[in-house]
Amino acid sequence: MTFFSFIICALALSVSTVNAQSKSPSSNQADIRDADGNVYTTVTIGTQTWLVENLRTTKYRNGDEIGTTSTPDIDISAETSPKYQWVYRGNEANLANYGRLYTWYAATDPR
């Protein structure tokens, strides 16, 4: 009886896996460009389109520069709305792997 239950569970799992695979993400061929001219690959999952890569821009949509901290470990906690971007650990070599990091205020700035 235990073997029979195992077979039923295995069949149910394989059917659900096949169903999940049919809803896999699709690659989108549209180019997304930021204000710096960087091009990003996208993927569509359901009705949402996502960047496959991390954002690397140093400018807002209108072309204004996003400020940066002089060092990555500077304390900006006392600022009321800090708008900065920087590379991980302040090392430009990390840009390809991690993109740029942004404060909430920089990411949500309407410019």
Bigger pLDDT: 104 vs 74 = 104
Is the separation of the CB atoms in 105 and 81 below 8 Å?
yes
Instruction: Give the number of domains in the chain.
Output: 1
Instruction: Answer yes or no: is 99 within a domain.
Output: yes
Question: Could you read off the pLDDT of 48-78 as tens digits, one per residue?
Answer: 999 999 999 999 999 999 998 767 678 888 8
Domain enclosing residue 57, as ranges: 24-107
Instruction: Answer yes or no: is 17 within a domain.
Output: no
Is the separation of the CB atoms in 58 and 73 below 8 Å?
no
Q: Which amino acid is at 1?
A: M
**H or E segment at 32?**
strand 26-33
Q: Which amino acid is at 9?
A: C
Burial of 87 (0-12, 13-18, 19+ CB in 10 A): buried
Question: Could you read off the pLDDT of 10-56 as tens digits, one per residue?
Answer: 666 666 555 555 566 666 566 799 999 999 999 999 999 999 999 99
